[in-house]
Chain A
Amino acid sequence: MILRFSGLLLRMVDYERTVDVEATTLGDALAVAEARHPRLKMVLRDGHGQLRRTHRIFINGELAATAGLSTPMHSSDEVEFLTAIAGG
């Protein structure tokens, strides 16, 4: 499956726009990507290891409002993370 990153997240994956991983859940897929790009974890996850609410997750191009770490994934899936953060 493919993880896609854009915007400020690109910096956290060394501007590697897509990351190919083998995984059966979203959490496993992220763990692989985080092992490759350690800064990603701090941005994507909160102090309890859960996905921050501020990220939008698209699975195969559709907003997956209820997606979580245990969401099952298939090898043909594409997951995109979108982050809109503004200052005060």
Chain B
Amino acid sequence: MGERLWSLTAAEDDAMIRVDERWGELLAAVDEGAADRDMAGEPVPERFFAEAGATGLLALPLPRETGGAGLDPVAWVLTLERIGYLCRDSGFALILGIRTVIAQMLLESGRQDVIERYVVPITRGTLGIALAYSEDADAFTLRTVLRRRGDGFVLSGHKDFLTGGYHAQVFLVYARNEADDMVACLVHRDDPGVVVTRLSPVGIRTSGPTALDLREVPVARDRIVVSVDGLSHAQQLLNSRRLTVCGAPIGRARALVELSVARLNSTIRHGQPLSQLPNVQGSLGRMYIAVETARAMLYRAARRVADGEADRLFDPVVSAAKHVVVNRVRFVLEEALQVLGGYFYYGDPYFGTCLRDFAGLVAFAGTQDLLEVNLGTMATTHLAPLRDDRKFSTTSRRGGHT
């Protein structure tokens, strides 16, 4: 099964050719040590992000006026898909994605000092940044707290599960303030009271995940980038992240299908390649359908964002796309296990890496379970049976659209 069977529009083809031409060498270098790093739980080296920044990869989705390439969300997810296809290091694409999402959110602050000090260096690959949102609490009872002290503030608390925390010199930290609102501030790794601890996750082991302890960390006023309703800010960031986490896994799933076909073509049973058995072909067909389903859903969600039609805080289609992509790439692996049997389990450790990596996707940017609940709650309101005079109404009397 070559690239001819995958559906590729001209735009999709262009995006992939661009990645191959401009970053093929970098991705080959990242790919080369991926298996050993995964085995050892070693983070992908920072020098690869420096090169990604120097060659414009980290700035691709940023607007041109800030040094980016202004790539629209569709082209960006295609780029990430190609990265996933060419490079077996899940951590690389995951960190790439979260850094660009944070850079975009910081850019929206409109603050020139923030853009110059953080956004530009992030996109140039000279500054690592990580998101510090999750902790052992719900969104309304965060235990990480920002309190006033003198002319400034102090930050205390603990954050879990920071993707790329190992590489980060700066953390975007969400905390509760004294008014019980959520705020967001930038904390530097070398600020007094900052303690970074490496984690040993089940999968995506090269992503340098850490925890973050904040022990009375002094925070100057200008480090607060969101002073009101940080909850909505965080939800907007996570909504964007939902789209970016999906690209690379689809590329890897495509590569896995091709890897499975190659193995099944070369494995002889009863005098013929395994791939000639109807049940095996059925399984390959299901794998193909799963990948194309995931791609279709993701592109549709990305197009919706590109056209400005998506809800920026919690878009149902983006959320549904994340859910579908994660389910489908995990399904591809399950099918591969069925047809490859012992080879999958013992013959190539990469399958195990994918099993662990794809499992991690369940939790990123909202668990699958939580997305279902949110979408179901929305359905009960948006899809309620039409009543009386509202039967054919599409526009709210107060200006909103149904």
Contacts and interface: CB of A to CB of B under 8 A. Distances in A.
Interface in B211-240: 227-229, 231-232, 234-235, 238
B181 A7 contact: no
Contact of A82 (B140, B381, B390): B381
Given A46-B181, A53-B229, A63-B396, A6 B140 contact: no
Contact of B313 (A6, A42, A54): A54
B376 to A, nearest CB: 9
Interface in B124-163: 131, 133-134, 139-140, 161
Contact of A85 (B134, B139, B179, B402): B139
A6 B396 contact: no
Interface of B: 131, 133-134, 139-140, 161, 177, 179-181, 183, 227-229, 231-232, 234-235, 238, 241, 313-314, 319, 364-367, 370-371, 373-375, 377-378, 380-382, 384, 387, 390, 393, 396-402
Closest 3 CB pairs of A and B: A86-B366, A47-B181, A65-B400
15 contacts: A7-B377, A47-B180, A47-B228, A50-B228, A54-B313, A58-B381, A62-B397, A62-B402, A63-B400, A63-B402, A65-B401, A82-B377, A84-B314, A84-B319, A86-B370
B170 to A, nearest CB: 17
A82 B380 CA distance: 10
Contacts of A43: 140
Interface string A73-88: 0000000101011111
B133 A53 contact: no
Contacts of A36: none
| Prevailing SS type, chain B contact patch | loop
Interface residues of A, number: 30
B377 A86 contact: no
A64 B238 contact: no
Contacts of A67: 398, 400
Contacts of A46: 181, 228-229, 231-232
A71 B397 CA distance: 12
Contacts of A80: 381
Nearest to B139: A85
A82 B229 CA distance: 17
Nearest to B396: A62
A32 interface: no
A60 B134 CA distance: 35
A73 to B, nearest CB: 11
Nearest to A46: B229
Given A48-B228, A54-B232, A84 B378 contact: yes
B57 to A, nearest CB: 24
